[in-house]
């Protein structure tokens, strides 16, 4: 991360500009501004429905709610993720490097190929028993408590345990890594205050020190983990300066996607008791379908953006080099031109098109097989062991407008919290 002075300067300018833009946009009923405010956090889908298929934003870029256009932009090589060479706008990546998430080819291709084998079908088969053991241990503790927070007691510890095991972090402290993941994940929405910038820098410093120690350990004592494979590729497929960002990305992405996916899924299921009852009647048969419907209906990542690397004609408009197109993934996944009854949550839905919850094109989420597997096991075992699950208090949502999910979801296990089948 850059020095604190640069981070504070960036945070100050961004925080002020966002507040001003959101305030004035609110007065003008600007949808993009509303997405940053309480109405957008509570129900962004109501705002999406009032937006055009494709149109300009008030700050000189473009935005689309169309599934077809989002998919086109995400796949089109005339759009990229790096804008620093084309614009003078500050880039959050300068403050916290997220590896190939912030890169275009050929560097993106090189680093993605290094990470890809860790998420192969063969590896997923090997991860399943560990995920199932972790889920049952978490549910044992939750059942004993009777009432628990689904996020802090279940949805968050699961991916932290799995991703730290995959990386090879010894004696991982799940609570500490969850805090790191939350702080760094919150920066995906931009830095919002001076204290936020300081927390991000502290998390970056701690993680950098941890991974540097782990690199030294694995140089001396290689193991069967992803960090050992990264260390073995040093100087060939990955440069030394790229190693910590790679681990940051895998840690944060591995945490953020799954914790919010599981939280959104349980929230939707409890909002639709008939769907929860259907899942409880056939957990093995419907858990994976419940995951896919949640990804469509209420995806953890609501939007991303691409920068035009050259002038591009799109939907009858000219997107000029250096302009961004904001792809509203949450809106695209409820596009009535693609999905029947798109605002209906139905885990028995026949999938007629691919949702865009994991993006599309060359930046399609490399860790999506693991996120799907973790969420499928989490929902299946929850339905098997706690069929009488109920809310025990109000849901609290995270403040981000990009990453959507609960930060607190109190639940009660019900009268028949079943024991794990060993």
pLDDT (mean) for 343-348: 98
**DSSP characters for 51-91?**
S-SEEE-TTS-EEE--HHHHHHHHH-TTEES--TTT-----
Whether 330 has a pLDDT exceeding 90, the answer reads yes
pLDDT of residue 28: 52
pLDDT of residue 142: 95
Find the angle CA(362)-CA(89)-CA(35) to the nearest 5 degrees: 75
pLDDT (mean) for 187-198: 78
Nearest to 275 by CA among 257, 263, 287, 259: 287
pLDDT of residue 300: 95
Whether 112 has a pLDDT exceeding 90, the answer reads no
Greater confidence (106 vs 316) lies with 316
Virtual torsion, Cα 157, 159, 163, 165, nearest 10 deg: 50
Query: What is the percentage of the chain residues whose pLDDT exceeds 90?
Result: 55
Q: What is the C-alpha separation between 2 and 413, in angstroms, rounded?
A: 46
Q: How confident is the model at residue 3 (pLDDT cuts 50, 70, 90)?
A: very low
Q: What is the C-alpha separation between 231 and 210, in angstroms, rounded?
A: 14
pLDDT of residue 199: 86
- Taking phi over 0 as left and psi of -120 to 50 as alpha, with beta for the rest, 322 belongs to left
Residue 167 in tokens: 């990386």
Question: Could you give all domains of the chain from N- to C-terminal order, each with its CATH number?
Answer: 4-412 (1.10.630.10)
Q: What is the C-alpha separation between 115 and 207, in angstroms, rounded?
A: 19
Q: What is the C-alpha separation between 217 and 212, in angstroms, rounded?
A: 9
Task: Tally Cβ neighbours within 10 Å of residue 52.
Answer: 11
Greater confidence (69 vs 420) lies with 69
pLDDT in tens, 258-303: 999 999 999 999 999 999 999 999 999 999 999 999 999 999 999 9
How far is CA 110 from each of CA 113, 115, 239, rounded to the nearest angstrom? 5, 9, 11
Q: How confident is the model at residue 118 (pLDDT cuts 50, 70, 90)?
A: confident
pLDDT of residue 416: 52
Q: What is the C-alpha separation between 269 and 152, in angstroms, rounded?
A: 18
Q: Report H helices in 99-193.
A: 107-115, 121-145, 150, 157-167, 174-186
pLDDT of residue 105: 83
75 and 360 Cβ atoms separated by less than 8 Å: yes
Whether 38 has a pLDDT exceeding 90, the answer reads no
Q: What is the mean pLDDT of the chain?
A: 85
pLDDT of residue 1: 34
pLDDT of residue 7: 31
Whether 398 has a pLDDT exceeding 50, the answer reads yes
Task: Tally Cβ neighbours within 10 Å of residue 382.
Answer: 29
Q: What is the C-alpha separation between 176 and 197, in angstroms, rounded?
A: 18
pLDDT (mean) for 351-362: 92
Whether 373 has a pLDDT exceeding 50, the answer reads yes
Greater confidence (79 vs 402) lies with 79
3-state secondary structure of 391: strand
Q: What is the C-alpha separation between 399 and 407, in angstroms, rounded?
A: 9
pLDDT of residue 77: 94
Q: Which of 83-87, 112-116, 348-352 has the lowest mean pLDDT?
A: 83-87
pLDDT of residue 269: 98
Greater confidence (375 vs 187) lies with 375
Find the angle CA(216)-CA(220)-CA(221) to the nearest 5 degrees: 110
Predicted TM-score (pTM) of this structure: 0.87
pLDDT in tens, 127-183: 999 999 999 999 999 999 999 999 999 999 999 888 888 888 877 676 777 777 777
pLDDT of residue 170: 77
Whether 94 has a pLDDT exceeding 80, the answer reads no
């Amino acid at each position: 991360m850059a020095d604190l002075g640069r981070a504070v300067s960036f945070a100050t300018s961004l925080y002020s500009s966002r507040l001003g833009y959101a305030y004035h946009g609110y007065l003008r009923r600007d949808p993009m501004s509303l997405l940053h405010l309480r109405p957008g956090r509570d129900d962004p889908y109501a705002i999406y429905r009032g937006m055009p298929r494709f149109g300009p934003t008030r700050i000189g870029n473009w935005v689309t709610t169309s599934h077809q256009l989002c998919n086109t932009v995400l796949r089109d090589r005339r759009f990229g993720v790096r804008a620093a060479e084309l614009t003078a706008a500050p880039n959050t990546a300068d403050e916290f490097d997220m590896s190939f998430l912030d890169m275009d080819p050929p560097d993106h291709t090189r680093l993605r190929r290094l990470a890809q084998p860790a998420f192969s079908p063969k590896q997923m088969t090997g991860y399943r028993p560990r995920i199932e053991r972790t889920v049952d241990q978490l549910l044992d503790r939750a059942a004993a408590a009777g009432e628990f927070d689904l996020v802090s007691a279940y949805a968050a510890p699961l991916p932290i345990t799995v991703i730290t095991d995959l990386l090879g972090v010894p004696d991982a402290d799940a609570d500490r890594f969850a805090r790191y993941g939350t702080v760094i994940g919150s920066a995906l929405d931009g830095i919002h205050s001076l204290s936020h910038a300081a927390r991000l820098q502290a998390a970056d410093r701690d993680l950098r020190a941890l991974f540097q120690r782990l690199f030294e350990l694995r140089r001396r004592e290689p193991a069967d983990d992803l960090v050992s494979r990264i260390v073995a590729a040093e100087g060939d497929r990955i440069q030394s300066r790229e190693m910590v960002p790679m681990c940051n990305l895998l840690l944060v992405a591995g945490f953020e996607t799954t914790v919010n996916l599981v939280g959104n899924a349980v929230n939707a299921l409890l909002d639709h008791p008939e769907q929860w009852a259907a899942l409880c009647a056939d957990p093995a048969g419907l858990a994976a379908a419940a995951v896919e419907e949640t990804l469509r209906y209420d995806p953890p990542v609501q939007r991303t953006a691409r920068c035009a690397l050259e002038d591009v004609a799109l939907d009858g408009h000219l997107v000029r080099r250096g302009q961004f197109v904001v792809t509203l993934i949450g809106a695209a996944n409820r596009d009535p031109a693609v999905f029947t009854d798109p605002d209906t949550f139905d885990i028995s839905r026949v999938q007629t098109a691919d949702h865009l919850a994991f993006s599309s094109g060359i930046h399609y989420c490399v860790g999506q097989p693991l996120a799907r597997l973790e969420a499928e096991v989490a929902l299946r075992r929850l339905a098997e062991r706690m069929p009488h699950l109920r809310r025990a208090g109000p849901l609290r949502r995270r403040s981000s407008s990009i990453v959507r999910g609960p930060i607190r979801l109190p639940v009660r296990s019900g009268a028949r919290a079943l024991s794990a089948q060993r």
